[in-house]
Chains A and B, each alone.
Chain A
Amino acid sequence: MRELTLVFVYGLVTALATGAGALPFAFVGRVSPRLVGRLNALASGLMLGASFGLLAEGTRFGGWETFVGANLGVLFILGTNRWLQGHHRHPGQPGGGASDGVRRMILVVTVMTVHSFAEGVAIGTAFGGGMTLAAFITVAIAVHNVPEGVAISAVLRSNDVGVARCAGWSIVSSLPQPVMAVPAFLFVDAFAPALPYGIGFAAGAMVFMVLLEILPEAYDKASVREIGAIASLSLIAMLLFQRLVAG
């Protein structure tokens, strides 16, 4: 029982760390259209970098399983987006359907939350190998979550959401980590085969959402050269960051 509590607490720490990703936005003042473009480019680079990491992790467990999961993730975002366009009415929006900004925010928080389920299973199965490395893995995942919080906050902040709420939604998006880590830890043998599907699903959903919503929005708001440079550099920064955290 004590071990279970530990797994949960460790998972919770990693979720709270995601909120730290909102902190840099305390220094961002007025949100101009150009800044919206840049923030979306930053989020695109970070999320594509995160999905590159997920794909590398998933294909270690099984290439086909990851591929199948990724295609399901694409379909999931396609469906969610259609549903949001059709059904989620937003006050003050005469045509019906959520406004583009609101839809984009819902998609980002949804995708990042879904991806946390897969990460939670990954934490749990990693701990399943024994508790010796638990503290180390927790620190690694907590640090790894910070740029994901940056990505979420970049999209929310560009829609004029306050910093505290950015932090709040970032943490919410990571709450599935502790929730999923416990059962995955208890039933490693049952969860392990599902892992590449889940990781692939998260990666596919993230890549597709970036290409469908976040990048086009970025190109709309600032020059293509600027967006391209920010997105490529933040992707490289994310790859470096993941390598350093993994040791």
Chain B
Amino acid sequence: MHPALTVLLYATLAALASIPGGLVRWPTGGARGRWVGWAHALAAGGMLGAAYVLAAIDGVTAARAAAGGVLGVMFIVATHSLTGVARLDLSRPDGSDPSHGRRLVRVHALHACSEGVAIGAGMAVNLSLGAFLALAIAVHNIPEAATLAAASDPGHGRARSVGLGVLSNAGQPLLAVSTWLLATAAPSTLPWALGFAVGALLNLVMTELLPASYREAGATSIALVASVALGFVVLLGGLRP
């Protein structure tokens, strides 16, 4: 198989992992918020882990990677302002604002693009690293899609929330393949791409996932879920063949 197809395949599978997330049946009542918070924390820990794995790659020019990281942070800051999602609560439907659902899908689409860059850059380093990142991001996509389903309008049923989850992840395989193509055609861009992915993932964790989790559940349980998720990604990333 052509390596570009491999990248496409892995990134698509990671994007499709949102389907089981969209099918999650959330508990009702007081417990619902806590579970949504833990799902966000799980996604945050996984994303931090992916950022760690990318940042720990040896043989990359540190200054270029750091410059790429600053760009990644700036990218998220800028897209947040441009798309009007800077003050969006990821967990709750906002009754006063009919555009809430659309903005929510836009936020998730931005996540998916950053994750696509991460998979593409990882694949350009080597296949096993890229496949591992795709797996980590696939697992991360499950709770992410579940929180999207929980926050979108409850009147619309399962098919719609699954559809939204898949739709918002469409950018992931696209960005993965283009990043891989760029980084293999011009290897000097690889440190930039790796750094960009690290910066974007970190800033998504810090501005969206973690604040959304702390709003829903106590800091102790959030910190536990996120750090254990991070620990597993670090462990499995190190055991990778």
Also in contact, A228 and B219, with CB within 8 A (given A204-B227, A219-B214, A236-B73): no
Q: Is the C-beta of A28 less than 8 angstroms from some C-beta in chain B?
A: no
Also in contact, A211 and B203, with CB within 8 A (given A52-B55, A239-B55): no
Contacts of A235 in B (CB 8 A): 202
Also in contact, A232 and B206, with CB within 8 A (given A67-B235, A78-B220, A225-B77): yes
For A44, the closest partner residue in chain B by CB is B206
Q: Is the CB of B62 within 8 A of A243?
A: yes
For B212, the closest partner residue in chain A by CB is A224
Contacts of B63 in A (CB 8 A): 240
Query: Complex Cα distance A208/B62, Å?
Result: 27
Q: Is the CB of B73 within 8 A of A55?
A: no
How many A residues face the partner with a CB closer than 8 A? 38
Q: Is the CB of B231 within 8 A of A236?
A: no
Q: Is the C-beta of A184 less than 8 angstroms from some C-beta in chain B?
A: no
For A210, the closest partner residue in chain B by CB is B223
Q: Is the CB of A229 within 8 A of B207?
A: yes
For B80, the closest partner residue in chain A by CB is A225
Q: Is the interface of A mostly helix, strand, loop or mixed?
A: helix
Interface size class of B (residues with CB under 8 A): 35 or more
Q: Is the CB of B224 within 8 A of A74?
A: yes
In chain B between 37 and 91, which residues have their CB closer than 8 angstroms to a CB of chain A?
48, 52, 55-56, 62-63, 65-66, 69-70, 73, 77, 80, 86
Q: Is the C-beta of A102 less than 8 angstroms from some C-beta in chain B?
A: no
Q: Is the C-beta of A233 less than 8 angstroms from some C-beta in chain B?
A: yes
Nearest 3 interchain pairs by C-beta = A228-B207, A228-B206, A243-B62
28 contacts between A and B (CB under 8 A): A48-B48, A52-B52, A52-B55, A55-B234, A59-B234, A59-B235, A67-B231, A67-B235, A70-B234, A78-B220, A204-B231, A208-B227, A211-B223, A212-B219, A219-B214, A224-B211, A225-B77, A225-B86, A225-B207, A228-B208, A231-B202, A231-B206, A232-B199, A232-B203, A236-B199, A239-B66, A240-B62, A240-B69
| Extra inter-chain contacts (9) besides given A48-B48, A81-B220, A244-B62, CB under 8 Å | A55-B234, A59-B238, A67-B231, A70-B227, A208-B227, A219-B211, A228-B211, A233-B73, A240-B65
